[in-house]
């Protein structure tokens, strides 16, 4: 923890001194023109800082973060794997940074070829007919995919199909995306083994079903063993299958969702394909589809011709999801990663992600109950029920004192006191051993000195924060 | 292979601990016939080779820096101070996740709070969220937000001169709902606002560069019980009245030009701000100030009951990952330039654009169509604008955006953008080249 910056850091506004600036600009070499009187702005309340103050300020702020580069960060469902530095170098080439999106296809052939190659590569990894790199994140890919399902249903004349099935272990973006596409959701429960309850699924499949959204492996870290049967049943009932690919890191080079009957799917390139999360984004949420739905993909997408590459709208496209062509800078990073891993590497990614998760599970499951007794995929869910009066939140906060980022907690919603742990393939056995040791010691502390957990973290820049106050009397903007 | 540290010996030891005889066994839940033999992709290559390959693609593109650049149309070639990428690229920012554990994410959280504060003041709003995917999706979400906030009204007024790609994104986002879009031309205060209208969208400036003051239209919207949404150029707000001080209820903007490179269209920054009255309807993450148990100031994600991870299908939006790093770039950009620097950039852009318009307006055959503009203006050309763009391209000048690319029947219209990056010499070269191209 001594790597963290414990000093109070003032806000940029508090560091401001009238008359300072952090950047020199050339003198204007043209005459001044009058701004129309009714448009002139009087006040501009921005801070005034010199460059060194800015540099120290943001450097110090950065030191108040845990990050992959500084700590083990096993956040379940988020795939916090190492983000290769070479990706940053690849993406910072001026040929990308200074490339204007409207320069015209003929002047951007390198970019179009990269988009095309990445579309093709990801399509192959997923086992689909075509892919679009438009979506800016996973949820954006979901929204695209359910809109594609909607469009296909309408083309069939099936306007009454409004029901989208969502397993109870699903991420919150799944039902929220359905709402944005005008669907109503129905929850499908999980069975004893952590997979979709097949009887409940059959019962839900009626003539109003538009489709199902499936995460595989699901958010319990378990492979949906009945995936083919699920897809078959949904198709028979007249619906489509959406695949949430957030957990694709378990499966690259091992299994192709497209071959199991999934019709349309997104990948989170900011998870599986190693692009950095940037403290919240940007991501990239490629969406791919089989022959049935490919023509509805959002566009434009890159197309290869004999004479070169163009950007085109798929024939029945749902349209644009954002301006221009996706989070291109993120796509460059993902492509660089795809080149370096390749067919053999992607398989090793999945193998090691799954091995690491099972190994870590084997180390801690004697202490932290794991509700489903199966091999996990790239992550597993345990329960923080190690001592009376101690909660998962306390364990998570105590992990910080040991120099580890907590796992995802209280998700999925179907496991009480959930700790969702995803080590990823880029962590070594040594790190996993240390993490397991910390978890076991914390379980010991939970029994002997619970207040140590209740008051944790002890060594972070701030203690536990009052979130109730933050929401009740919101301060969302500096009020100096 | 790189990025996987464990050795074969360690893997064997781990398998023993797990009680599995092979890694394949761990995948036994996958039905046998669905296991694939291998992907139809080349095997992985080294860092040197990969970088060479990506670089060789990058070098095949035409760069702003190597030309006299006057193309904007929604993405702008502006200077980015060296401190911005140097700081935003620090691993502690770059490789952190969404700040769900606030005690070890104060760096990201405080930076978001600072961004929210600076962006809110720039736009004149009381609150700005932590970002959308880009300006277009921010506007589309604003339209949905306004439509839901004005129950029973299903009409949205959109300017005819709205960035065509923004209009397309709005169409995609709203396709599932019963929303009627009415396009209006000219000044927004003359738009047909009525009791069916949920909101009017004002582009400030519009796609052809024209600036219409917001105030009158906002007042009219409010009298009619509708909301006023403004899609603004945030840099323009450093020089001209903010949408907030003119009565906007929701403001959206593309923040790319504030510290984010062109990057062939992304990642950019969707900015959205609103009033206190509407904040609980606003999508996106929001950071708030609070205290820890010792009374020390700290920051947390707040008002999350709007969001998908709490409200699921009842959430105001499905957005989860946003454009955090682009937001951070803009935060550092605003802090670095500060009040004077941002004003100066806006000022120089304004002056240079007006100087260019004056020169070009004086060339026989050309006429400047915009009357009030900031850094982008519409010119009627004597020949097809696309031809002029092609001809000047050969000479190292990208003179602007030929509107025919979006509107085939608007053949003789060229949208010219001038920023602080353009020198007087470049502007004069552009004017001379346009003069020649008219013959
Ligand atoms: C299972 C699952 N689905 C969807 C998402 C949404 O992805 P994004 O945050 O990229 O929008 C996530 C990640 O947050 C996830 O873990």
- Which ligand 1 atom is the nearest neighbour of the CA of A270? 10
**Comparing C-alpha atoms, which of B397, B418, B421, B352 is closest to residue B209?**
B418
Average pLDDT value for residue range A56-81: 98
> B301 and B345 in one domain?
no
pLDDT of A1 above 50: no
Chain A residue closest to B10 (CA)?
A: A429
How sure is the predictor about A4, in pLDDT bands with cuts at 50, 70 and 90?
Answer: confident
CA-wise closest residue to A194 among A231, A220, A168: A220
Nearest CA-CA partner of A320 in A140, A119, A101: A140
Q: Does residue B330 share a domain with residue B377?
A: no
- State the residue for tokens 């003539």: A207
Residues of B in contact with A152 (CB under 8 A): none
HSE-CB for A159 with a 13 A CA cutoff:
2
- The answer to whether position B30 is within a domain reads no
Taking CB atoms and an 8 Å limit, are B319 and A139 in contact across chains? yes
Longest dimension (CA), chain B: 84
**B366 in the same domain as B309:** no
- B48 close to A (CB below 8 A): no
What's the rounded mean pLDDT across residues A202-210?
98
- Asked whether residue B168 is assigned to any structural domain, the reply reads yes
Do residues B98 and B174 share a domain? yes
For residue B17, pLDDT over 70 is answered with: yes
Average predicted confidence (pLDDT) for chain B: 97
Where among B319, B334, B349 does a domain terminate? B334
In angstroms and rounded to an integer, the radius of gyration of the C-alpha atoms of chain A is 25
| pLDDT averaged over every residue in chain A | 97
- Count of domains in chain B? 2
- Comparing CA positions, the residue from A22, A117, A3 lying closest to residue A60 is A3
What confidence tens digit (pLDDT) does each residue in B139-193 have? 999 999 999 999 999 999 999 999 999 999 999 999 999 999 999 999 999 999 9
pLDDT for residue B225: 98
Q: Do B338 and A343 touch (CB under 8 A)?
A: no
Give the separation between CA A44 and CA B438, rounded to whole angstroms.
Answer: 42
Q: Quick one: B244 and B292 in the same domain? A: yes
Co-location of B127 and B98 in the same domain: yes
B164 touches chain A (CB under 8 A): no
Q: How many residues does chain A have?
A: 480
Residue B27 touches partner A, C-beta closer than 8 Å: yes
**For residues B183 and B249, what is the distance between their CA atoms, to the nearest angstrom?**
20
Backbone φ, ψ for residue B272 (5° rounding): -140, 130
pLDDT digits (tens, 9 = 90+) for B393-404: 999 999 999 999
Looking only at the bridges linking them, the beta strands covering B270-274 and B127-128 are: antiparallel
Task: List, as ranges, residues 346-385 from B with C-beta within 8 Å of A.
Answer: 347-348, 350-352, 354-355, 372
Q: How far is the CA of A285 from the centre of ligand 1 (A)?
A: 9
- Rounded distance, CA B212 to CA A199, Å? 61
First to last CA, chain B: 61
- Together in a domain, B129 and B212: yes
If one residue of A77, A334, A377 were mutated to test the ligand 1 pocket, choosing by the most ligand atoms within 8 A of its CB, it would be A77
Mind listing the pLDDT tens digit for each residue in A248-304?
999 999 999 999 999 999 999 999 999 999 999 999 999 999 999 999 999 999 999
Contact (CB<8Å) A465/B298: yes
pLDDT at A2 over 60: no
Task: Give the residue-averaged pLDDT of A423-430.
Answer: 98
Is B70 within the bounds of a domain? yes
Nearest Cα to Cα of residue A329 among A93, A146, A127, A138: A93
Cis amide linkage into residue A457, ω under 30° from 0: yes
Buried b vs exposed e over A246-283: b needs ≥16 C-beta within 10 Å? bbbbbbbbbbbbbbbbbbbbbbbbbbbbbbbbbbbbbb
In whole angstroms, what is the distance from residue A3 CA to residue A398 CA? 17
Among A76, A141, A173, which residue has the most ligand 1 atoms within 8 Å of its CB, making it the best to mutate? A173
User: Which run of H or of E encompasses B300?
Assistant: strand B297-302
Report if residue B13 sits inside a domain. Answer: no
Residue B384: give its domain's CATH number. Answer: 3.90.1150.10
Distance set, CA A405 to CA A72, A409, A423 (Å) = 6, 11, 11
Q: At what angle do helices A138-156 and A173-180 cross, to 10 degrees?
A: 40
Q: What is the Cα–Cα distance from A130 to A314, expressed in whole angstroms?
A: 10
CB neighbours (10 Å) of residue B163? 21
| B172 belongs to a structural domain | yes
How many Cβ pairs within 8 Å bridge chains A and B? 692
Among B240, B242, B269, B320, the residue to mutate for chain A (most A Cβ within 10 A): B320
Tell me, rounded to whole angstroms, the distance of Cα B336 from its chain centroid: 20
**Among B127, B279, B334, B338, the residue to mutate for chain A (most A Cβ within 10 A):** B338
Domain shared by B149 and B135, yes or no: yes
* Whether residue B371 has pLDDT greater than 90: yes
Please report the domains of chain A, with CATH numbers, ordered by start residue.
87-341 (3.40.640.10), 349-454 (3.90.1150.10)
B59-76 exposure pattern, b = at least 16 Cβ within 10 A, e = fewer: eebbbbeebbbbbbbbbb
Q: Tell whether B308 and B250 lie within a shared domain.
A: yes
Measured CA to CA, the distance from residue B255 to residue B184 in angstroms comes to 26
Kindly tell me the sign of the dihedral angle through the C-alpha atoms of B6, B12, B15, B17.
Answer: negative
**Cβ atoms B231, B204 nearer than 8 A:** yes
What per-residue confidence (pLDDT) applies to B347? 98
Average pLDDT of the residues in B64-90: 97
Closest CA to B195 of B157, B247, B141, B238: B157
Radius of gyration of chain B measured on its C-alpha atoms = 25
- To the nearest whole Å, the CA of A237 is away from the closest chain B CA by 23
- Contact residues for B90 (Cβ-Cβ < 8 A; gap 6+): A58, A59, A62
B156–chain A nearest CA distance, Å = 18
Question: Residue B111 sits in a domain of what CATH number?
Answer: 3.40.640.10
Q: Which residue of A has its CA nearest to B263?
A: A97
**B248 Cα to chain A: minimum distance (Å):** 15
The verdict on the CB of residue A177 being under 6 Å from ligand 1 is: no
Instruction: Pick the residue from chain A with its C-alpha nearest to B212.
Output: A39
The runs of H, that is alpha helices, within A94-135 are 94-97, 109-126
Predicted pLDDT of residue A352: 98
Half-sphere exposure of A218 (CA within 13 A, CB side): 29
Is the four-CA dihedral A271, A457, A430, A386 of positive or negative sign?
negative
DSSP line for A439-469: HHHHHHHHHH-HHHHHT--SSSSS-SB-HHH
Closest residue by Cα to atom 10, ligand 1, is: A138
What SS3 state is found at B9? helix
pTM: 0.98
Residue B219 lies in a domain: yes
**Residues B317, B219 share a domain:** yes
Is A88 in Cβ contact with B89 (below 8 Å)? yes
- CB–CB of B340/B172 below 8 Å? no
For chain A, first and last CA: distance in Å? 32
Beta bridge partners of B298: B290
Helix (H) or strand (E) holding B398: strand B397-398
Yes or no: say if B421 and B77 are a contact pair by the CB < 8 Å rule: yes
3-state helix, strand, coil in chain B (%, to 5): 45, 15, 40
Contacting residues for A468 by C-beta, under 8 A, at least 6 apart = none
- Residues B188, B120 share a domain: yes
C-alpha–C-alpha distance, residues B101 and B300, integer Å: 9
Domain that holds residue B107: 83-334
Q: Write out pLDDT tens, residues A445-477.
A: 999 999 999 999 999 999 999 999 999 999 999
Cβ atoms A258, A229 nearer than 8 A: no
Q: Which residues contact A395 (CB under 8 A, 6 or more apart)?
A: A384, A386, A406, A419, A439, A442, A443, A446, A453
Going by their DSSP bridges, the two strands B413-417 and B401-402 should be labelled as antiparallel
Query: Is A175 in Cβ contact with B29 (below 8 Å)?
Result: no
User: If you take atom 16 of ligand 1, which residue's CA is the nearest one?
Assistant: A77
Atom of ligand 1 nearest to the CA of A142: 4
Of A21, A38, A54, nearest to B83 by CB-CB distance is A54
> Where a domain ends, among B301, B334, B367?
B334
- B316: nearest Cα among B273, B282, B272: B282
Rounded distance, CA B17 to CA A276, Å? 32
Complex ipTM tops 0.95: yes
What is the C-alpha to C-alpha distance for residues B153 and B348, in angstroms, rounded to an integer? 43
Give yes or no for residue B83 CB within 6 A of ligand 1.
Answer: no
Q: In which band, very low, low, confident or very high, does the pLDDT at A3 lie, cut at 50, 70 and 90?
A: low
Same domain membership, residue B244 and residue B314: yes
Q: Which of these, B200, B197, B202, lies nearest to B154 by C-alpha position?
A: B197
The position carrying tokens 């919207």 is B221
Last-in-domain residue among B317, B334, B351: B334
Burial class (CB in 10 A: 0-12, 13-18, 19+), A43: exposed
CA distance A156 to B67: 50
- Return the axis-axis angle of helices A328-364 and A109-126, rounded to nearest 10°: 30
Check if B321 has its Cβ closer than 6 Å to any atom of ligand 1: yes
Closest CA to B88 of A329, A459, A368: A329
Instruction: Give domain status of residue B48, yes or no.
Output: no
Residue B411 located in a structural domain: yes
Determine if residue A417 is left, alpha or beta; phi over 0 gives left, psi from -120 to 50 gives alpha, anything else beta. Answer: left
**CA B178-B269-A50 angle, 5° bins:** 150
């Amino acid at each position: 923890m001594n790597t963290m910056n414990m000093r109070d850091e003032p806000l940029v506004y508090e560091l401001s001194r009238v008359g300072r600036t952090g950047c020199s600009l050339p003198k204007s070499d043209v005459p001044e023109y009058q701004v129309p009187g009714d448009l002139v702005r009087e006040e501009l309340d921005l801070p005034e800082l010199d460059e060194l103050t800015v540099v120290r300020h943001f450097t110090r702020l950065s030191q108040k973060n845990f990050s992959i580069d500084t700590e083990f960060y096993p956040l379940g469902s988020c795939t916090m794997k190492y983000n290769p530095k070479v990706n940053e170098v690849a993406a910072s080439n001026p040929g990308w940074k200074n490339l204007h999106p409207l320069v015209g296809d003929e002047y951007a052939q390198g970019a179009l070829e990269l988009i095309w190659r990445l579309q093709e590569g990801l399509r192959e990894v997923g086992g689909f007919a075509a892919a679009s790199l438009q979506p800016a994140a996973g949820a954006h890919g979901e929204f695209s995919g359910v809109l594609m399902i909607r469009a296909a249903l309408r083309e069939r004349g099936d306007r009454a199909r409004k029901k989208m099935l969502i397993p109870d272990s699903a991420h919150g973006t799944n039902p929220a995306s359905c709402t944005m596409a005008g669907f109503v959701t129905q929850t499908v429960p999980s069975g004893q083994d952590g997979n979709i309850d097949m009887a409940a699924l059959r019962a839900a499949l009626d003539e109003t079903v538009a489709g199902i959204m499936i995460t595989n492996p699901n958010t319990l870290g378990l492979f949906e063993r009945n995936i083919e049967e699920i897809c078959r049943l949904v198709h028979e009932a007249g619906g489509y299958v959406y695949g949430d690919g957030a957990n694709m890191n378990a499966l690259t080079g091992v299994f192709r969702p497209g071959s199991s009957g999934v019709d349309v799917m997104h990948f989170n390139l900011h998870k599986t394909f190693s692009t950095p999360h940037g403290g919240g984004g940007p991501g990239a949420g490629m969406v791919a589809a089989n022959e049935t739905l490919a023509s509805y993909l959002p566009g434009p997408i890159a197309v290869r011709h004999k004479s070169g590459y163009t950007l085109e709208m798929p024939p029945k496209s749902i349209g644009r999801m954002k301006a221009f062509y996706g989070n291109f800078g993120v796509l460059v990073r993902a492509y660089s990663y795809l080149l370096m891993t390749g067919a053999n590497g992607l398989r090793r990614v999945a193998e090691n992600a799954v091995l690491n998760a099972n190994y870590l599970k084997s180390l801690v499951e004697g202490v932290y109950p794991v509700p489903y007794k199966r091999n996990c995929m790239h992550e597993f869910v345990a329960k923080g029920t190690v001592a009376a009066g101690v909660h998962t939140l306390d364990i998570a906060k105590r992990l910080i004192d040991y120099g580890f980022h907590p796992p995802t907690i209280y998700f999925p919603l179907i496991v009480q006191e959930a700790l969702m742990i995803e080590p990823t393939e880029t962590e070594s056995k040594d790190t996993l051993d240390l993490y397991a040791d910390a978890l076991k010691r914390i379980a010991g502390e939970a029994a002997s000195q619970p207040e140590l957990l209740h008051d944790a973290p002890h060594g972070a820049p701030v203690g536990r924060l009052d979130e109730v106050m933050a929401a009740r009397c919101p301060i969302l903007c500096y009020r100096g | 292979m790189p990025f996987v540290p464990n050795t074969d010996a360690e893997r064997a030891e781990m398998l023993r601990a797990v009680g599995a005889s092979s890694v394949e066994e761990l995948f036994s839940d996958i039905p046998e016939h669905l296991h694939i033999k291998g992907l139809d992709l080349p095997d992985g290559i080294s860092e040197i080779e990969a970088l060479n390959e990506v670089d060789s693609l990058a070098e095949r593109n035409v760069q702003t820096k190597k030309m006299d650049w006057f193309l904007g149309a929604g993405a702008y070639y502006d200077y980015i101070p060296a401190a911005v990428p140097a700081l935003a690229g620090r691993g502690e920012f770059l490789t952190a996740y969404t700040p769900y554990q606030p005690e070890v994410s104060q760096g990201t959280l405080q930076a978001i709070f600072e961004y929210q504060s600076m962006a809110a003041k720039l736009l004149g709003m009381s609150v700005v969220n932590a970002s959308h995917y880009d300006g277009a999706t921010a506007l589309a979400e604003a339209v949905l937000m306004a439509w839901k906030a004005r129950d029973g009204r299903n009409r949205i007024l959109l300017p005819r001169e709205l960035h065509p790609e923004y209009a397309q994104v709005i169409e995609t986002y709203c396709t599932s709902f019963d929303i009627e879009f009415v396009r209006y031309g000219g000044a927004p205060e003359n738009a047909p606002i009525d009791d069916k209208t949920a909101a009017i969208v004002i582009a400030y400036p519009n796609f052809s560069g024209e600036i219409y003051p917001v105030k009158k239209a906002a007042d009219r919207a409010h009298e009619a019980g509708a909301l006023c949404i403004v899609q603004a150029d945030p840099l323009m707000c450093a020089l001209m009245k903010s949408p907030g001080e003119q009565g906007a209820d929701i403001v959206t903007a593309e923040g790319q030009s504030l510290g984010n490179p062109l990057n062939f269209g992304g990642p950019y920054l969707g900015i959205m701000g609103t009033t206190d009255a509407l904040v609980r309807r606003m999508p996106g993450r929001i950071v708030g100030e609070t205290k820890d148990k010792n009374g020390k100031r700290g920051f947390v994600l707040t008002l999350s009951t709007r969001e998908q991870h709490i409200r699921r299908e009842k959430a105001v939006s499905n957005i989860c990952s946003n454009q955090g790093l682009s937001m951070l770039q803009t935060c550092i950009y605003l802090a670095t330039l500060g009040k004077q620097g941002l004003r100066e950039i806006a000022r120089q852009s304004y002056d240079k654009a007006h100087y260019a318009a004056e020169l070009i307006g004086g060339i026989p055959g050309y006429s400047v169509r915009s009357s009030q503009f900031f850094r982008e203006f519409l010119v009627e050309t004597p020949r097809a604008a696309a031809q002029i763009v092609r001809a000047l391209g050969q000479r190292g000048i990208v003179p602007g955006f030929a509107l025919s690319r979006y509107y085939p029947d608007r053949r003789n219209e060229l949208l010219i953008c001038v920023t602080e990056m353009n020198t007087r010499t470049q502007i004069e070269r552009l004017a001379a080249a346009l003069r020649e191209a008219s013959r």
